[in-house]
């Protein structure tokens, strides 16, 4: 059948099973939006308040569902407003297709109105990108974009389409999407046997789970693997939910704000089994002092990650789920009773500090966990609240914590929460933000109210840029340069002005009452939770020091330091 380029875009989205698109229209992409209007029964479009919100919403949709998220924007500033969201997805290996429109082919390179080389601008932050200047290339390019976004190590792909291509016509034939197979070509019997032998020889093994295990949806295989190896398990921020937060083997997060048990245990272990993690500096601390007593086994789908930050003594390259299906058949059940007892003693000795006598970040997260029975999808912005969400909510499944790990994007959470809710309408979806983050993209609350998307926004409001202030307190002589936000901004009034139900709470009881009501109302709600400006995240590892140097507030007090 003969279709124009805009019709082809819509038909290709249908081929790929896309049911929701997040975006913002403009001049060059109007033809595509006209077709979206005609196909609104098949594809739901969410008009965001800002294009960055569209990218974050598509990202949240992708992370929480495992599907490819799709966002759209017009040329020039519309396209550049997607950049932060695309970079966020790139750093965390999120499958995303961003569709932008550009000026007509004849206007390229002439400084036309709202012209930008978005392909050049996004080249370093996409898995791949394209500019489509000919109608013949449109359908093959879109199909290739989805395949690239989903295959191997996922990532964002940008497709820029000139306006004339959206209007030109060509014969179109629908095609069934290619099957995406799990990457296993580089898994060898020798590598599998080597790792199985190292496991058999180990006395003190430790398993570190990263985001790759979430992407691979390998939770069943990881839990079986941990049982076979008889090892404790820690995770990175991106690896939450692969091992249940209530599992007796689980020791908590590793790294800068990881538990002492995880940091000390990894330092003491003789074999570190790393499943889909990239050894971020926030995980390793000083890389030269990381897991020096251990042989390191690194299992990852991306060969470029092997030996990039930490030298591996053995490695297996392939999809985590596929690797563990094979490896679990080779590993004979181990018994490390003394080691597991030692880890359990450390967990009892070094618990996370939770004080519910007053409203604090940890108290908010603990109440949220209890009231939602640990079943909510939690999105976060970036900062202290993000770390508290990682520490105190016990995640039971992959894709339950949706957060910006690699890029650390303030303003990520509201859009991501909208995207998560659109992909998981049966789940309670809660975004946790600090007041500094909420200021950045709180306009997306208007998106939630426009469509009555029942997200719950919790603002942990300490009237400062909390994480930066924490560093200023500990390492910069309490010189609070530009981190105090104690002004006249009223989040309750602003949220009500955008159509949301809003609460201000100052006690644990008030918070719990507001949260229960927000869940029952099932409408967009904002809870402004007021906490002390000097609440801090502990444990903490100073930058560029060994994770074995993790300290708590009690440690600082014992040294006579007033924080």
Q: How many whole angstroms separate alpha carbon 456 and alpha carbon 110?
A: 46
Q: How many whole angstroms separate alpha carbon 264 and alpha carbon 548?
A: 5
Question: Are both 189-349 and 361-537 of the same fold?
Answer: yes
Q: How many whole angstroms separate alpha carbon 37 and alpha carbon 255?
A: 48
Homologous superfamily, domain 361-537: Thiamin diphosphate (ThDP)-binding fold, Pyr/PP domains (3.40.50.970)
Which helix (H) or strand (E) segment is 107 a member of? none
Check residue 510 and give its pLDDT.
98
- pLDDT > 80? residue 45: yes
The phi and psi torsions of 28 (rounded to 5 degrees) equal -75, -20
- pLDDT > 90? residue 207: yes
Residues 6 or more apart whose CB falls under 8 angstroms from that of 127 comprise 90, 148, 149, 153, 154, 155, 156, 157
Mean pLDDT value of segment 320-324: 98
Q: How many whole angstroms separate alpha carbon 222 and alpha carbon 275?
A: 9
Check residue 561 and give its pLDDT.
76
What residues are paired with 44 via a beta bridge?
A: 20
Does 467 participate in catalysis according to the annotation?
yes
How far are the Cα atoms of 7, 93, 139 from residue 173, in angstroms, in the given order?
A: 12, 31, 9
Q: What is the DSSP letter of 450?
A: H
Catalytic residue, candidates 16, 22, 35, 51? 51
The phi and psi torsions of 37 (rounded to 5 degrees) equal -60, -40
Catalytic residue, candidates 14, 15, 105, 114? 114
Say whether 512 sits in a helix, a strand or coil.
Answer: helix
Mean pLDDT value of segment 309-332: 98
- How confident is the model over 111-148, as pLDDT tens digits? 889 999 999 999 999 999 999 999 999 999 999 999 99
Q: How confident is the model at residue 467 (pLDDT cuts 50, 70, 90)?
A: very high
Q: How confident is the model at residue 555 (pLDDT cuts 50, 70, 90)?
A: confident
Catalytic residue, candidates 38, 113, 288, 329? 113
Check residue 563 and give its pLDDT.
66
CA atoms within 13 A on the CB side of 80: 8
Check residue 560 and give its pLDDT.
73
Say whether 440 sits in a helix, a strand or coil.
Answer: helix
Check residue 171 and give its pLDDT.
97
Average pLDDT, the chain: 97
- How confident is the model over 341-353, as pLDDT tens digits? 999 999 999 999 9
- How confident is the model over 66-75, as pLDDT tens digits? 999 999 999 9
- How confident is the model over 432-453, as pLDDT tens digits? 999 999 999 999 999 999 999 9
Does 51 participate in catalysis according to the annotation?
yes
The answer to whether the CB of 369 falls within 8 A of the CB of 392 is: yes
List the structure tokens of 461.
């409001």
Cα–Cα nearest to 108, from 23, 25, 28, 10: 28
Total residues belonging to the chain: 563
Catalytic residue, candidates 127, 150, 163, 394? 163
Cα–Cα nearest to 462, from 404, 397, 530: 530
The phi and psi torsions of 243 (rounded to 5 degrees) equal -105, 135
DSSP per-residue letters across 165-201? HHH-EEE----PPPP-----TT--HHHHHHHHHHHHH
List the structure tokens of 363.
């108290």
List the structure tokens of 443.
């306009």
Give residue 18's Cα distance to chain centre.
21
- pLDDT > 90? residue 533: yes
Mean pLDDT value of segment 210-215: 98
The angle subtended at Cα 62 by Cα 59 and Cα 67, nearest 5°, is 150
Check residue 556 and give its pLDDT.
85
Catalytic residue, candidates 467, 470, 530, 540? 467
Q: How many helices, marked H, and strands, marked E, lie in the chain?
A: 24, 20
Q: How many whole angstroms separate alpha carbon 502 and alpha carbon 493?
A: 8
Q: What is the DSSP letter of 161?
A: E
Start-to-end C-alpha separation, the chain: 70
Using only the alpha carbons of the chain, give its radius of gyration. 24
The answer to whether the CB of 363 falls within 8 A of the CB of 213 is: no
List the structure tokens of 66.
């495992």
The phi and psi torsions of 40 (rounded to 5 degrees) equal -65, -20
Q: What is the DSSP letter of 310?
A: S
Check residue 56 and give its pLDDT.
98
% pLDDT > 90, the chain: 96
DSSP per-residue letters across 376-435? SEEEE-SSHHHHHHHHHS---STT-EE---SS--TT-HHHHHHHHHHH-TTS-EEEEEEH
- pLDDT > 70? residue 44: yes
Cβ neighbours, 10 Å, residue 320: 29
Q: How confident is the model at residue 494 (pLDDT cuts 50, 70, 90)?
A: very high
Q: What's 2-171's CATH class?
A: alpha beta
In the chain, what are the domain boundaries? 2-171, 189-349, 361-537
- How confident is the model over 398-429, as pLDDT tens digits? 999 999 999 999 999 999 999 999 999 999 99
Pick the CATH number of 189-349 from 3.20.20.150, 3.40.50.1220, 3.40.50.960, 3.40.50.720: 3.40.50.1220
Does 114 participate in catalysis according to the annotation?
yes
List the structure tokens of 280.
């971020």
- pLDDT > 90? residue 558: no
Q: Which residues of 539-548 are buried (b: 16+ CB within 10 A; e: fewer)?
A: bbbeeeebbb
The phi and psi torsions of 328 (rounded to 5 degrees) equal -60, -25
% pLDDT > 70, the chain: 100
Mean pLDDT value of segment 326-351: 98
Which has more confidence, 452 or 553? Answer: 452
Q: What is the DSSP letter of 484?
A: B
The answer to whether the CB of 115 falls within 8 A of the CB of 76 is: yes
């Amino acid at each position: 059948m003969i279709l124009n380029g805009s019709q082809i875009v819509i038909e290709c989205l249908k081929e790929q099973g896309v049911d929701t698109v997040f975006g913002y229209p403009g001049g060059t992409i109007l033809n595509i939006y006209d077709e979206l209007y005609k196909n609104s029964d098949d594809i739901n479009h969410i008009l965001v308040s800002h294009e960055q919100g569209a990218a974050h919403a598509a990202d949240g949709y992708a992370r929480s569902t495992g599907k490819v998220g799709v966002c759209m924007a017009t040329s020039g500033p519309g396209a550049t407003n997607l950049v932060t969201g695309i970079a966020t997805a790139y750093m965390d290996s999120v499958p995303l297709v961003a569709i932008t429109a550009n000026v007509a082919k004849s206007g390229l390179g002439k400084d036309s109105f709202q012209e930008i080389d978005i392909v050049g601008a996004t080249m370093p932050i996409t898995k791949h990108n394209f500019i489509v200047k000919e109608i013949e290339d449109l359908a093959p390019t879109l199909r290739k974009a989805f395949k690239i976004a989903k295959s191997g190590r996922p990532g964002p792909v940008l497709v820029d389409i000139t306006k004339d291509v959206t209007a030109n016509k060509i014969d179109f034939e629908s095609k069934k999407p290619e099957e995406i197979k799990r990457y296993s070509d580089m898994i060898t019997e020798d590598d599998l046997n080597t790792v199985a032998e190292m496991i058999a020889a180990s006395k003190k093994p430790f398993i570190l789970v990263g985001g790759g295990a979430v992407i691979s949806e390998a939770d069943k295989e990881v839990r079986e693997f941990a049982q076979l190896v008889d090892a404790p398990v820690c995770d990175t921020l991106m690896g939450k939910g692969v091992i249940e937060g209530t599992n007796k083997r689980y020791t908590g997060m590793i790294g800068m704000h990881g538990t002492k048990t995880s940091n000390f245990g990894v330092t003491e272990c003789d074999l570190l089994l790393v499943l889909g993690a990239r050894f971020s500096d926030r995980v390793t601390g000083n890389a030269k002092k990381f897991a020096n007593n251990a042989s390191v086994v690194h299992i990852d789908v991306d060969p470029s990650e092997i030996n990039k930050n930490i030298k591996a003594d053995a490695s297996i390259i392939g999809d985590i789920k596929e690797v563990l299906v094979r490896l679990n058949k080779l590993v004979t059940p181990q018994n490390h009773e003394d080691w597991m007892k030692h880890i359990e003693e450390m967990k009892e000795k070094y618990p996370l500090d939770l004080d519910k006598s007053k409203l604090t970040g940890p108290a908010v997260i603990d109440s949220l966990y209890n009231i939602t029975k640990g079943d909510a999808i939690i999105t976060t912005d970036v900062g202290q609240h993000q770390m508290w969400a990682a520490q105190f909510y016990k995640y039971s499944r992959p894709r339950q914590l949706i957060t910006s790990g690699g890029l650390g994007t303030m303003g990520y959470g509201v859009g991501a929460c909208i995207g998560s809710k659109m992909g998981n309408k049966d789940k309670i979806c809660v975004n946790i933000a600090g007041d500094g983050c909420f200021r950045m993209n709180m306009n997306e609350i208007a998106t939630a109210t426009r469509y009555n998307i029942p997200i719950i926004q919790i603002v942990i409001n300490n009237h400062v840029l909390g994480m930066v202030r924490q560093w200023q307190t500990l390492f910069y002589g309490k010189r609070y340069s530009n981190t105090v936000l104690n002004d006249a901004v009223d989040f309750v009034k602003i949220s009500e002005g955008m159509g949301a139900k809003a609460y201000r709470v100052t006690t644990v009881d008030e918070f719990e009452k507001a949260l229960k009501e927000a869940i029952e109302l099932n409408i967009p709600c904002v809870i402004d939770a007021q906490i002390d400006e000097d609440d801090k995240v502990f444990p903490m590892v100073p930058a560029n020091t060994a994770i074995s140097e993790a300290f708590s507030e009690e440690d600082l007090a014992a040294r006579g330091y007033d924080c």
